């Protein structure tokens, strides 16, 4: 059993299991997770409705059981509302706002083709998000404790705008609960600042939280940006013992070292300068023009080093940021849709990877644990980044259901596969948490398998060459050390693809 499991990279080949029963239990759970993973089937084509089988599958996964309701939703799914919606909008017509996000979360997203979000900024986070955010934050802490990490003094959290809109502010509420803070609402139910949860109620110390906002979050949620800043200041100012309030502990340490005011020492909400987006870690990785991983940390700090205090105005605050980064033990971001995984787009490693690298540098090389809060279904689950990359690799990149769905789209499908490979390299560069077998199996599936290599090369030679070059880059950067025969085969494939590309370009 151990040999079989290790052949598919689900266990180490040795040493021999000392507790086979526990290991088999663990394997069973790992297999179930793979079996139940939902994966996107190809790309969405505007104006094309899903066929009957796909509709049935979607409604099954959404948990629709009442036949009338099913029929109603099936009707909505089988009629195109998107092209008419766009045409209406282009004609200057009004498009009603509607909830966005996965059908799996709420069938209220149907029909699609409406304005993605109607939200009331005064009611975010919602009451449900506050309760669920506390549960999810506790789940993160429990997982880190189970991994032997104890209670972290500081968690670095990435907040996105769209995620918070789709979940009524779930991730915002998680950040607040880690600090032991709750939002307050006035008699009209409108957001009115933050209040401390008493330590006795919280039952643990207040965890320090350094927050990285996406540019979109900053643009969409100024009230919540201030709420988070106010939460950190409130916690830092509370007259509580430092060992039960890590925000205060770190703020006092900053004041002792640098002087200044509590307003400055308690800055915990960071993002871009006004008008700027992203950490540029993704562009560096895309260009391949970096030598040392610390350059990625530099990019992150230089782009995302602007603090948003209770005034809401961004200001570069390098000293506070580097002091708090040096205390981070956990970095964390939520996933809110099965459409996008951490290896689907480059934005996840750009910011979560970027801050993880910046933490490692601030801690003199000691790595923080990186977790993903999977909020896509059910009660949610916390995975290490490594587990998440493994899961996405197995259920997507190595899964014929996923890649055949993409290859139907031809050129763009191969580009999506290339993106998965490049983003995987981005995670190695920023976190070093990608297992070498991931690269080996990607190489096997897309390059060493000659039939597949010929197929993707015919559809998109440029992206195919990039896949090969990324795999070679991963060996150059020591994220993976294949045997010499594999490396030779990769190099030969790379050269053949480059030749083909030149031929293609000359002919064009
Ligand atoms: C956001 O919603 O904040 C976001 C979405 C996609 C990429 C980056 C950020
Ligand atoms: Mg981009």
Whether residue 162 has its Cβ less than 6 Å from ligand 1: yes
Residues whose CB falls within 8 Å of the CB of residue 167, separated by 6 or more in sequence, listed in order: 101, 129, 132, 334, 336, 375
Whether residue 371 has its Cβ less than 6 Å from ligand 1: no
Q: What was the pLDDT predicted at 121?
A: 87
Alpha-carbon distance of 308 to 270, in angstroms, equals 6
pLDDT tens per residue, range 414-449: 999 999 999 999 999 999 999 999 999 999 999 999
Whether the predicted pLDDT of 191 surpasses 90 = yes
**Torsion angle of the four alpha carbons 264, 267, 272, 278, in this order, in degrees rounded to the nearest 10:** 150
Q: Which ligand is nearest to the CA of 286?
A: 2
Q: Which of 53-62, 138-147, 398-407, 446-455 has the lowest mean pLDDT?
A: 53-62
Q: Which ligand is nearest to the CA of 419?
A: 2
Alpha-carbon distance of 98 to 116, in angstroms, equals 6
Whether residue 218 has its Cβ less than 6 Å from ligand 1: no
Beta bridge partners of 373: 334, 382
Taking each helix axis from N to C end, the angle separating 318-325 and 354-362, rounded to the nearest 10 degrees, works out to: 80
User: How much of the chain exceeds pLDDT 70, in percent?
Assistant: 99
Taking each helix axis from N to C end, the angle separating 436-443 and 484-507, rounded to the nearest 10 degrees, works out to: 50
Find out whether the peptide bond into 291 is cis, omega within 30 degrees of 0. Answer: no
Backbone φ/ψ region at 288: left (φ over 0), alpha (ψ -120 to 50), beta = left
Nearest CA to ligand 1 atom 4: 160
> Stretch 185-201: mean pLDDT, rounded?
94
Q: Count CB neighbours of 293 within 10 A.
A: 17
Which pairing describes strands 381-384 and 369-374: parallel, antiparallel, or unpaired?
A: antiparallel
Q: Which ligand is nearest to the CA of 351?
A: 1
Q: What was the pLDDT predicted at 416?
A: 97
Q: What is the b/e burial string over 488-505, where b = at least 16 CB atoms within 10 angstroms of the residue's CB?
A: ebbeebbeebeebeeeee
For residue 261, report the distance from its CA to the centre of ligand 2, in Å.
37
Taking each helix axis from N to C end, the angle separating 222-237 and 246-258, rounded to the nearest 10 degrees, works out to: 80
Q: Which of 42-56, 101-115, 126-140, 148-162 has the lowest mean pLDDT?
A: 101-115
Q: Count CB neighbours of 146 within 10 A.
A: 9
Whether residue 214 has its Cβ less than 6 Å from ligand 1: yes
pLDDT band at 505 (very low <50, low <70, confident <90, very high): low
Element (H, E) at 373: strand 369-374
Residue located via tokens 């939200």: 119
Alpha-carbon distance of 2 to 139, in angstroms, equals 30
Q: What was the pLDDT predicted at 151?
A: 98
Residues whose CB falls within 8 Å of the CB of residue 78, separated by 6 or more in sequence, listed in order: 49, 50, 52, 55
Residues whose CB falls within 8 Å of the CB of residue 252, separated by 6 or more in sequence, listed in order: 242, 265
For residue 12, report the distance from its CA to the centre of ligand 2, in Å.
36
Q: What was the pLDDT predicted at 508?
A: 52
Of 214, 279, 282, the one to substitute when testing ligand 1's pocket (max ligand atoms within 8 A of C-beta) is 214
pLDDT tens per residue, range 94-123: 998 887 777 887 888 899 999 876 678 899
Whether residue 105 has its Cβ less than 6 Å from ligand 1: no
In degrees rounded to 5, what are phi and psi of residue 393?
-65, -45
Residue 131 corresponds to which tokens in the numbers above? 């309760």
In degrees rounded to 5, what are phi and psi of residue 119?
-140, 150
For residue 230, report the distance from its CA to the centre of ligand 2, in Å.
31
Atom of ligand 1 nearest to the CA of 215: 3
**Torsion angle of the four alpha carbons 83, 88, 91, 95, in this order, in degrees rounded to the nearest 10:** -130
As a whole number, the mean pLDDT across the chain is 94
Q: What was the pLDDT predicted at 40?
A: 82
For residue 370, report the distance from its CA to the centre of ligand 2, in Å.
22
SS (H, E, C) 151-166: CCCEEEEEECHHHHHH
In degrees rounded to 5, what are phi and psi of residue 263?
-55, -40
Q: How is residue 396 annotated by DSSP?
A: I
pLDDT tens per residue, range 476-499: 999 999 999 999 999 999 999 999
Alpha-carbon distance of 71 to 82, in angstroms, equals 20
Atom of ligand 1 nearest to the CA of 213: 3
Residues whose CB falls within 8 Å of the CB of residue 334, separated by 6 or more in sequence, listed in order: 136, 163, 167, 170, 171, 174, 372, 373, 374, 375
pLDDT tens per residue, range 18-27: 999 999 999 9
pLDDT band at 338 (very low <50, low <70, confident <90, very high): confident
Residue 493 corresponds to which tokens in the numbers above? 């494939």
């Amino acid at each position: 059993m151990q040999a079989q499991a290790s052949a598919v990279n689900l266990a180490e080949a040795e040493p021999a299991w000392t507790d086979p029963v526990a290991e088999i239990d663990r394997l069973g759970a790992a297999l179930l997770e793979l079996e139940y993973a939902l994966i996107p089937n190809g790309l969405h084509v505007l104006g094309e409705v899903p066929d009957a089988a796909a509709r049935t599958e979607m409604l099954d996964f959404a948990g629709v059981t009442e036949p009338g309701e099913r029929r109603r939703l099936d009707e909505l799914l089988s009629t195109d509302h998107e092209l008419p919606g766009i045409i209406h909008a282009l004609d200057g017509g009004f498009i009603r706002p509607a909830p966005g996000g996965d059908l799996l979360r709420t069938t209220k997203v149907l029909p699609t083709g409406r304005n993605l979000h109607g939200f009331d900024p005064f009611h975010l986070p919602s009451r449900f998000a506050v309760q669920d955010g506390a549960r999810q934050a506790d789940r993160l802490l429990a997982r880190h404790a189970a991994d032997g990490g104890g209670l972290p003094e500081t968690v670095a959290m990435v907040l996105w705008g769209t995620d918070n809109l789709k979940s009524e502010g779930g991730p915002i509420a998680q950040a607040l609960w880690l600090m032991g803070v709750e939002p307050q609402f006035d008699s009209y139910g409108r957001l009115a600042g933050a209040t401390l949860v008493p330590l006795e109620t919280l039952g643990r110390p207040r965890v320090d939280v350094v927050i990285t906002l996406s540019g979109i979050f900053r643009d969409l949620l100024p009230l919540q940006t201030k709420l988070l800043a106010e939460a950190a200041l409130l916690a830092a100012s509370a007259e509580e013992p430092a060992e039960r309030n890590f925000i205060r502990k770190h703020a006092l340490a900053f004041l002792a070292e640098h002087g200044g005011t509590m307003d400055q020492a308690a800055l915990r909400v960071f993002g871009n300068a006004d008008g700027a987006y992203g950490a540029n870690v993704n562009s560096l990785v895309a260009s391949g023009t970096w030598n040392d991983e610390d350059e990625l940390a530099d990019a992150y700090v230089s782009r995302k080093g602007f603090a948003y205090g209770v005034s809401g105005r961004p200001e570069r605050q390098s000293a506070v940021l580097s002091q708090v980064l040096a205390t981070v033990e956990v970095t964390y971001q939520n996933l809110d849709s099965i459409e996008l995984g951490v290896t689907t787009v480059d934005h996840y490693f750009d910011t979560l990877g970027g801050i993880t690298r910046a933490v490692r540098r601030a801690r003199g090389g000691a790595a923080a644990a990186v977790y993903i809060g999977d909020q896509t279904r059910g009660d949610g689950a916390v995975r290490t980044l490594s587990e998440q990359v493994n899961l996405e690799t197995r259920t997507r990149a190595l899964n014929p259901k996923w890649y055949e769905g993409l290859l139907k789209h031809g050129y763009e499908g191969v580009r999506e596969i290339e993106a998965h490979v490049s983003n995987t390299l981005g995670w190695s560069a920023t976190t070093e948490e990608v297992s070498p077998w991931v690269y080996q199996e990607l190489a096997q599936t897309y390059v060493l398998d000659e039939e597949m290599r010929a197929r993707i090369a015919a559809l998109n030679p440029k992206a195919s060459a990039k896949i090969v070059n990324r795999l070679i880059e991963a060996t150059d950067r020591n994220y993976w050390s294949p045997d010499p025969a594999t490396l030779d085969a990769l190099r030969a494939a790379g050269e053949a693809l480059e030749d083909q590309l030149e031929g293609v370009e000359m002919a064009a």
